[in-house]
Amino acid sequence: MKIRNKTIKEILLKYRKIDSLKRLISLAGWDLNVYMPQKAVEDRAFIISEVELQIKNLILDKSFIKLVNEVKENNLNIYEKAIIRVLKREIGYLQKLPSSFIEEFSKITNKAQVVWREAKDRNDFSVFKPYLEKIVYLVKKEVEYLGYKEHPYDALIDLYEEGWTTKDFEDFFSFVKPRLKDIFFKVFNSKYFIDKHPLEKEKYNKEKMEKLNLRVLKILNFDNQRSRLDIAPHPFEQSISLNDVRITTWYHKNDFKRSLSATIHEFGHLLYETNIDSKLKFTPLQAGISYAFHESSSRFWENVIAKNEIFLRKIWPLALKYLDFLKKYKFKDFVTYFNLVKPSLIRVEADEITYHFHIILRFEIEKMLLEDKIKIEELPEYWNEKVKEYLGLRVDSYRDGILQDIHWSMGAFGYFPTYSLGTFLSGLWLESIENDLGDINNLLKQKDGILTIQNWFKDKIYRFGRTYSSKELIYKITKKGFSPQPFINYLDSKYIKI
Ligand code: MG
């Protein structure tokens, strides 16, 4: 990255302060979830919101905005263009939303997250209902502030996935829905179908499981000089700086796949952040492109790689070493355990095929809410009907139904669709890797196969940070734009042709 433009040089100098404050917030956020004493919740929230206000003031500082607007966009190189694009987006977002609105929104969503947890514990939707009503009301207001061309939902989707629209996702989901149903139906009716596995019940030793996770991460080239693995109530990845990217995982008493899969999933996020070109350090471009791009990396490593039989063969001796009960099982059991297809009421527990019905349901509900086609009180019933239709399951509690996810209590509407998009992008990357480097199974059999695949990701995606927009980079890689077909092909060859 060469910055020649004088004004942009000045902008980047000022931006370092903004970037540093953001990174300290990341560290505080990581600590909040990993080490912070419980009673510090309110103090920490106050500290973070004060620093966030400082960041906002620095971004909306008149002299800063003036510099950004001053830059003439002809004659800029791709990095310079991207810096201006990303900053204008950030400034625009903060300018469009009045401070009073941001304050009200954060007040209600902070409270709503606590109420949601309580409602979920008590399995009582009525406790959360008034908050959800208020949040949906505010989200509609937010949409009006932000503006949109075709559909109000576009304004929200764009927050998570720049340039993507309701129409894009409608096309995407209507393409994949019948195909996923078809694959699921075939798997379900196959004589190999099992949805329960004895390994799920096996209890493991936490310390040994921790060692196994670290050994598997080492196979994936995890660098413990630049990264850490810790424990959190819900696994996540946090990038503090280019050389300090941290991940967390969880340990239940049994079902070791949950711990290992979460570790590898978060590792996929880590790999993205640690491989951004160091020349982008401390600039607005030092981050993953978007939610879906990040998720495409995490899902690729969690599913396409870590559930592949050849990869599982590599880690089998380690698993045998740290998980005593595995001695009773064969390698084949290990493989089927990692690749179970299991329609579940819970989104986060769903398999590679049925997962997307959970997302389609949420997408449809969010869209209907914005179109005023459904009332909050009608949501639980609608939810349950759709779960029956899509997954063939009966919902018997709010907890495992409408109340299962935290997102709506945070006011995060438009977020869910990026999970599916990310997964389907991972299929697109698989296809591109096979075009460029050959069959993935052959690659995994090679000594440095994993590194070769990681270098592909680094070269094609990671190193650019936010230099390109999501649609631009998809086009640059595939030369033809987004297609959900490769992921369908992947599922087909994995689950149907067994
Ligand atoms: Mg993720």
Rounded to the nearest angstrom, the distance between the alpha carbon of 406 and the centre of ligand 1 is 14
Confidence of residue 191 (pLDDT cuts 50, 70, 90): confident
Check: CB of residue 162 under 8 Å from CB of residue 290.
yes
Rounded to the nearest angstrom, the distance between the alpha carbon of 299 and the centre of ligand 1 is 7
- For each of the domains in the chain, give its residue range(s) and CATH number, in order of start: 6-147 (no CATH), 166-496 (1.10.1370.30)
Query: With pLDDT > 70 as the criterion, what percentage of the chain qualifies?
Result: 100
User: Which of the 8 DSSP states describes residue 203?
Assistant: B
Confidence check: pLDDT of 446 > 90: yes
Rounded to the nearest angstrom, the distance between the alpha carbon of 207 and the centre of ligand 1 is 24
Check: CB of residue 194 under 8 Å from CB of residue 340.
yes
Rounded to the nearest angstrom, the distance between the alpha carbon of 343 and the centre of ligand 1 is 20
Check: CB of residue 25 under 8 Å from CB of residue 52.
yes
Q: pLDDT by residue (tens digit) across 41-64?
A: 889 888 998 999 999 999 999 999
Confidence of residue 103 (pLDDT cuts 50, 70, 90): confident
Strand order in the sheet with 227-231: 227-231, 244-249, 237-241
- For tokens 């991972």, the residue is 426
pLDDT for position 342 = 86
Judged by DSSP in three states, 254 sits in strand
Helix axes 78-96, 6-34, angle to 10 degrees: 60
Q: pLDDT by residue (tens digit) across 125-182?
A: 999 999 999 999 999 999 999 999 999 999 999 999 999 999 999 999 999 999 999 9
Q: pLDDT by residue (tens digit) across 209-255?
A: 999 999 999 999 999 999 999 999 889 999 999 999 999 999 999 99
Rounded to the nearest angstrom, the distance between the alpha carbon of 292 and the centre of ligand 1 is 9
pLDDT for position 469 = 95
Burial classification of residue 178, based on how many CB atoms lie within 10 Å of its CB (0-12 exposed, 13-18 middle, 19 or more buried): exposed
Rounded to the nearest angstrom, the distance between the alpha carbon of 388 and the centre of ligand 1 is 26
Q: What is the rounded average pLDDT for all residues in the chain? A: 96
User: What does the angle CA 304 – CA 305 – CA 310 come to, to the nearest 5 degrees?
Assistant: 120
Instruction: Give yes or no: 352 in active site.
Output: no
Phi/psi-derived region of residue 438, left when phi > 0, alpha when psi is between -120 and 50, beta in every other case = left
Distance, C-alpha 446 to centroid of its chain: 29
Rounded to the nearest angstrom, the distance between the alpha carbon of 387 and the centre of ligand 1 is 23
Which of 41-45, 256-260, 387-391 is least confident? 41-45
Rounded to the nearest angstrom, the distance between the alpha carbon of 287 and the centre of ligand 1 is 15
- For tokens 């996702």, the residue is 169
pLDDT for position 498 = 53
pLDDT for position 497 = 67
Q: Which helix (H) or strand (E) holds 239?
A: strand 237-241
* Alpha-carbon radius of gyration of the chain: 23
User: What does the angle CA 469 – CA 270 – CA 29 come to, to the nearest 5 degrees?
Assistant: 95
Confidence of residue 276 (pLDDT cuts 50, 70, 90): very high
Q: Which of 266, 273, 295, 352 is catalytic?
A: 266
Q: pLDDT by residue (tens digit) across 71-98?
A: 998 889 999 999 999 999 999 999 999 9
CB atoms within 10 A of CB 452: 15
- What is the spatial distance between Cα 321 and Cα 316, in angstroms, rounded to a whole number? 9
- What is the spatial distance between Cα 204 and Cα 419, in angstroms, rounded to a whole number? 30
User: Which of the 8 DSSP states describes residue 465?
Assistant: T
User: What does the angle CA 53 – CA 56 – CA 62 come to, to the nearest 5 degrees?
Assistant: 130
